Amino acid sequence: MDQYIIIGVVGSGAMGAGIAQVAAVAGHQVVLYDNNAAALEKAKANLTQTLQKLQEKGKISNADDVLKRFTFAGEINAFAKCGLVIEAIVEKLEIKKTVFADIEKNVSDTCILASNTSSLSITSIAAACGRPQNVMGLHFFNPAPLMALVEVIPAVQTNPAHVQPAKELMHRWGKTPVVAKDTPGFIVNRVARPYYGEAIRMYEEGIASMEEIDNAMVQSGGFKMGPFTLMDYIGHDVNYVVTETVFQSFFYDPRYKPSFSQKRLLEAGWLGRKTGRGFYNYNEPGTADKPVDNSNNTQIVERIVAMLINEAVDALYLNVATATDLETAMTKGVNYPKGLLQWCDEWGAEKCLAILDGLYDSYHEDRYRASILLRKHAKEGKRFL
């Protein structure tokens, strides 16, 4: 593990700075690189302020000691002595490939290069490198210092021997690592898509209002946030783009089809809370507090949760991750009230299948096709856990 003493981070935005903070607090020397000098200075000021607050709260003993572990670099050759470099820049594949090829020229032959991408192909990124066996995905969740989950994603080319040390390193950083196959969206951003997509579908069809759907998922489903509130919180420039990327990457599978309702918000610049308006208008207090009809709660929750369960079951069937890692990812990564496989076991696979088959019979859309594994478990009365 000596090779991991010095950690490099590419990109000093919220995500990159957050990852750098995690590594520094864990005791590493950290090189935080950005070719934008103003962004780098802003990150330094923000990290200084954040570390001081952590010291005041007793979370760290000495902010100055942690800050001394940082090197704020404007040149990529500052990574020369790093054992691990994590990229956290814009979600554009060609830009990432160019950056990885540049980093590789400035590090040792044994340095591991990792991408924090949430949905792009690690294999494609690795293909830009001369040593693709040293490339993998380490997907942190925002905000990185607070969120426990990290998806560890080996590419097709990744040396399998790198996976376990990466998991061990994440444990030492106080994180909860799960291993995911290099498929679109990995675990969380794949399995979670129906939470947004099916909610929007019901809203567009007039089955329920946004307020009714949000209320149902929180009050009856036990989720921390309803889907419309959550999309506004994440930002449509992020949430919609991930949906579109996953949809395209899955060869336009209708299960991941984006919605015009959300696309129009993106086009209007109504990105959610950060712009004051998204699905809800945050410039008018109380607009999300309209009277709510609870009569549809069961129908709303069962439809969305059945779709989520089906995604988790299909991910298990296709060996995207183990059952344990699937459960951990959804409870730690997006704070679901329980794992989806556990939820299926509590309902019974027969109930979940009946909901999906009922939707398929009504719509005749491939969007509602049940996973073959769910169908088998329902037929044989099996549990997943």
Residue indicated by tokens 């712009």: 275
The pLDDT of residue 1 is 44
Does the fold of domain 188-385 match that of domain 2-182?
A: no
Q: Which residues of 252-261 are buried (b: 16+ CB within 10 A; e: fewer)?
A: eeebbbbbee
The pLDDT of residue 284 is 84
The sheet that has 6-10: what strands, in order across it?
70-73, 29-33, 6-10, 84-87, 112-115, 135-140, 149-154, 176-179
The pLDDT of residue 285 is 72
Q: For residue 140, which of 153, 130, 155, 150 has the smallest C-alpha distance?
A: 150
Residuewise pLDDT in 10s, the chain (385 residues): 455 689 999 999 999 999 999 999 999 999 999 999 999 999 999 999 999 999 999 999 999 999 999 999 999 999 999 999 999 999 999 999 999 999 999 999 999 999 999 989 999 999 999 999 999 999 999 999 999 999 999 999 999 999 999 999 999 999 999 999 999 999 999 999 999 999 999 999 999 999 999 999 999 999 999 999 999 999 999 999 999 999 999 999 999 999 999 999 999 999 999 999 999 999 987 655 677 788 899 999 999 999 999 999 999 999 999 999 999 999 999 999 999 999 999 999 999 999 999 999 999 999 999 999 999 999 999 999 9
The pLDDT of residue 382 is 97
Report the C-alpha dihedral over residues 46, 50, 56, 62, rounded to 10 degrees.
Answer: -90
Class of the 188-385 domain? mainly alpha
The pLDDT of residue 4 is 67
The pLDDT of residue 286 is 67
Q: At what angle do helices 297-317 and 323-333 cross, to 10 degrees?
A: 140
Q: Cite the active site residues.
A: 118, 139, 151, 189
The pLDDT of residue 292 is 79
The pLDDT of residue 314 is 98
DSSP 145-180: TT--EEEEEE-TTS-GGGHHHHHHHHHHTT-EEEE-
Q: For residue 151, which of 179, 124, 123 has the smallest C-alpha distance?
A: 179
Q: How far, in Å, CA of 356 to CA of 298, rounded?
A: 15
Cis-peptide, bond into residue 143, ω within 30° of zero: yes
Under DSSP, the state recorded for 272 is B
| Domain definitions of the chain by residue range | 2-182, 188-385
> Domain 2-182 adopts which CATH fold?
Rossmann fold (3.40.50)
Q: How far, in Å, CA of 280 to CA of 236, rounded?
A: 12
Residue 251 one-letter amino acid: F
The pLDDT of residue 2 is 53
Q: Can you list the pairs that 247-254 forms with residues at least 24 positions away whose Cβ atoms lie under 8 Å?
A: 249/119, 249/121, 249/184, 249/185, 250/184, 253/366, 254/365, 254/366, 254/367
pTM of structure = 0.95
